[in-house]
Amino acid sequence: MAGNVVGAGLIVEGEFTTEEEVVIEGTVRGTLTTAESLSIGSDGVVEADLRALSVVLAGQVTGNITANSRVDIQAGGRLIGDVKAGRLTIADGASFRGNVDMDV
């Protein structure tokens, strides 16, 4: 069980900070910072800048993503924003518009 679940139908607006894992199936607007992994489900809608250890994206994100470890944009995932991460994967069927900054 994840530490944080923003379930379908829930809308969180503002500054969201946590040390635990986050699963988003609802809506998040503002900023989200977690020390653990972040998962945005296929119904998840995020209009926020995200900071996490790792990010798995299957829903929609408008905002910049910073991950200490990695970012995985899955098929059906949609990202408009920049990515700063050590590793990045973009699955076939994902859409992405933005810049990538990887540790080289």
Partner 1 sequence: MAYASVIGSSSVIRGNVRGETSLEILGRVEGDVGISGDLSLGPDAVVVGTISGARIVIGGSVQGDVTASEAIVITETGRVVGDLTAPRIGMSEGALVRGSVRSEGGAASGRSSSPRSAEVRAPAPPPVERAAPRAANHAAPVANHASAAKAPAKKAPPPPVIQAPRAGARARKRMLKR
44 token code pair: 């998840």
Is residue 9 within the footprint of partner 1 (CB under 8 A)?
yes
Is residue 66 within the footprint of partner 1 (CB under 8 A)?
no
79 token code pair: 């990202």
Is residue 19 within the footprint of partner 1 (CB under 8 A)?
yes
Is residue 42 within the footprint of partner 1 (CB under 8 A)?
no
Q: Least separation, in Å, of the C-beta of 81 and partner 1?
A: 20
Is residue 18 within the footprint of partner 1 (CB under 8 A)?
yes
Residue 33: burial class (beta carbons within 10 Å; 0-12, 13-18, 19+):
middle
Is residue 14 within the footprint of partner 1 (CB under 8 A)?
yes
- The Cα 60–Cα 81 span in angstroms is 11
9 token code pair: 């139908």
Binding site for partner 1 (CB under 8 A): 1-21, 26-27, 30
